[in-house]
Amino acid sequence: MAALLPGQATLGVLGGGQLGRMFVHAAQALGYRCVVLDPDAISPAGAVAESHVKADYLDPVGLAQMARDCDAITTEFENVPALALETLAGMRVVAPAAAAVAVCQDRAVEKAHFEAAGVACAPHAVITNEIELAGVDPALLPGILKTSRMGYDGKGQVRVRTPAELAAAWDDLKRVPCVLEQLLPLRAEVSVLVARGSDGQVVNYPVQQNLHRAGILAVTEVPAPAVPADVQAAAVAAARQVVQALGYVGVLCIEFFWLDDGRLVVNEMAPRPHNSGHWTMNGASVSQFEMQVRALAGLPLPEPRQHSASVMLNLLGDLWFPAGDDARTPPWDRVLALPGTHLHLYGKAEARRGRKMGHLNITADTPDAARAVAREAAVLLGLPADF
């Protein structure tokens, strides 16, 4: 495709959440106009875009307006209906493609793609009926039962130890199609951000080491402090295999488990920028959101360069409720007095427990220095400093 040049084109995004908001900010910084489609009248991305189409993702009038007003269109989260992307692709440039997003929307299909790409994933079984449930290999237990669709941030997931617990968990999940994954002993969780252009050019960011709490990403550190160079190289190579096999255009995040026995297995992928890549906004030469804009618009994809050691702290709505039900603003003034701190709030109207409200990036000359400041910030915010 011919590049859509800054100052001359309008970019659209399906989804009005924080990832869409940061995409819009990156696009506007380059000189693009932006249109957001989201049914929420007060969405974070809709609040900052030049235009907000308030419609359902499959609303034909809303999609027609997006096609009329935009030169190219992307998505900010994987659960936008693939049909919406497919419909728009008949009228405008769309990246990533509906087929690629559809793979990421179904865990069973996703795992089949990993295997076809030659990338190892955790031992697993697909469960869609009672016959498949009864045929599950006992060696997969203990495991984690996950819904094939719509699960994220620990939702739609149940740990099971026995066949009886597995059957009960499948009942609790309303017997929807699921994937049972063997529970594996982990050394660390890591992720790799990859970007691919429509011309096949691929670039990647450094390996990111992630700490999750209750299934939600809490801390990302880059460089990955506990992961040796050969494991990092294997993760990058696998991520690039996945994105090439998918024929993907845009930014893709692939999450991996590094196991106690030294193996590296892929966990899942997200067809968009990712929480674990938020550090790039302050620690890299090109943020993941600018890279998403570049891939969509057909601009060159520069090899990203990390210029500062970085730690990212995820900020959930719980921080606004340190002593009960009365909300109060966290001590941002004290946090921002620490060197190398960069606060990003998402413009959400109301803080709620478990809701992603923002993130804090900490940059420094060395990983130890960044981690030390991040721990100070965590203490000020009442977060665990166990990283």
Identify the CATH number of the domain in which residue 34 sits.
3.40.50.20
**Is residue 151 annotated as involved in ligand binding?**
yes
Domain count within the chain: 3
Asked if residue 325 has pLDDT above 80, the reply is no
Tell whether 358 and 227 lie within a shared domain. Answer: yes
185 burial type by CB count under 10 A (0-12 exposed, 13-18 middle, 19+ buried): exposed
Q: What value does the mean pLDDT take over residues 145-160? A: 80
Residue 82 lies in a domain: yes
Q: What is the DSSP letter of 387?
A: -
Tell whether 171 and 209 lie within a shared domain. Answer: no
Tell whether 321 and 343 lie within a shared domain. Answer: yes
pLDDT of residue 152: 62
pLDDT of residue 287: 98
| Cβ pair 182, 242 in contact under 8 A | no
**Is residue 154 annotated as involved in ligand binding?**
yes
pLDDT of residue 151: 64
Asked if residue 349 has pLDDT above 90, the reply is no
Tell whether 328 and 192 lie within a shared domain. Answer: yes
**Is residue 111 annotated as involved in ligand binding?**
no
Tell whether 132 and 62 lie within a shared domain. Answer: no
What's the domain range around 160?
123-182
pLDDT of residue 187: 96
User: Quick count: other Cβ atoms within 10 Å of Cβ 137?
Assistant: 11
**Is residue 382 annotated as involved in ligand binding?**
no
**Is residue 267 annotated as involved in ligand binding?**
yes
Is-cis flag, bond preceding 142, omega within 30?
yes
**Is residue 189 annotated as involved in ligand binding?**
yes
Its pTM surpasses 0.85: yes
Q: What value does the mean pLDDT take over residues 318-343? A: 94
Tell whether 207 and 238 lie within a shared domain. Answer: yes
- What per-residue string of b and e applies to 342-365 under the rule 16 or more CB within 10 Å gives b? bebebebeebeeeebbbbbbbbbe
- The β-bridge partners of 158 are 145
**Is residue 263 annotated as involved in ligand binding?**
no
Tell whether 194 and 323 lie within a shared domain. Answer: yes
Give the domain CATH number at 150: 3.30.1490.20
Tell whether 173 and 210 lie within a shared domain. Answer: no
Helix (H) or strand (E) holding 377: helix 367-381
Asked if residue 90 has pLDDT above 70, the reply is yes
The answer for residues whose C-beta is within 8 angstroms of residue 205's C-beta and 6 or more apart is 192, 193, 194, 222, 277, 280, 284, 288, 304, 306
Tell whether 339 and 229 lie within a shared domain. Answer: yes
- What per-residue string of b and e applies to 239-262 under the rule 16 or more CB within 10 Å gives b? bbbbbeebebbbbbbbbbbbeeee
Cα(359)–Cα(275) distance, integer angstroms: 9
**Is residue 110 annotated as involved in ligand binding?**
no
pLDDT of residue 37: 98
Tell whether 159 and 239 lie within a shared domain. Answer: no
Give pLDDT tens digits for 47-79.
999 999 999 999 999 999 999 999 999 999 888
Looking at 131, 158, 182, the residue that finishes a domain is 182
pLDDT of residue 156: 79
Tell whether 155 and 213 lie within a shared domain. Answer: no
* Tokens 């809490």, residue located: 218
In the sheet with 10-14, reading across from the earlier edge strand, the strands are 51-53, 33-37, 10-14, 72-75, 93-94
**Is residue 183 annotated as involved in ligand binding?**
yes
- The β-bridge partners of 268 are 255
Phi first, then psi: give them for residue 320, nearest 5 degrees.
Answer: -85, -5
Give the domain CATH number at 293: 3.30.470.20
Residue 327 lies in a domain: yes
Q: Residue 331, SS3? A: coil
**Is residue 210 annotated as involved in ligand binding?**
no
Asked if residue 154 has pLDDT above 70, the reply is no
**Is residue 11 annotated as involved in ligand binding?**
no
**Is residue 356 annotated as involved in ligand binding?**
no
**Is residue 155 annotated as involved in ligand binding?**
yes
Q: How far is CA 212 from CA 179, 215, 255, 300, in A?
A: 21, 6, 12, 34
Cα(69)–Cα(382) distance, integer angstroms: 45
**Is residue 208 annotated as involved in ligand binding?**
no
Q: Which two tokens stand for residue 69?
A: 């007003």
Cα(330)–Cα(51) distance, integer angstroms: 31
Long-range contacts: 373-377, Cβ < 8 Å, 24+?
A: 373/311, 373/338, 373/339, 373/340, 373/341, 374/219, 374/311, 374/313, 376/338, 377/313, 377/335, 377/338, 377/341
Residue 109 lies in a domain: no
Q: What value does the mean pLDDT take over residues 183-197? A: 96
Phi first, then psi: give them for residue 318, nearest 5 degrees.
Answer: -55, -30
Give pLDDT tens digits for 258-317.
999 999 999 999 999 999 999 999 999 999 999 999 999 999 999 999 999 999 999 999
**Is residue 16 annotated as involved in ligand binding?**
no
Any idea how long the chain is? 387
Looking at 136, 152, 182, the residue that finishes a domain is 182
User: Quick count: other Cβ atoms within 10 Å of Cβ 91?
Assistant: 14
pLDDT of residue 1: 72
Give pLDDT tens digits for 353-380.
999 999 999 999 999 999 999 999 999 9
Q: Which two tokens stand for residue 178?
A: 């699921």
Rounded to the nearest integer, the mean pLDDT of the chain is 95
Tell whether 279 and 297 lie within a shared domain. Answer: yes
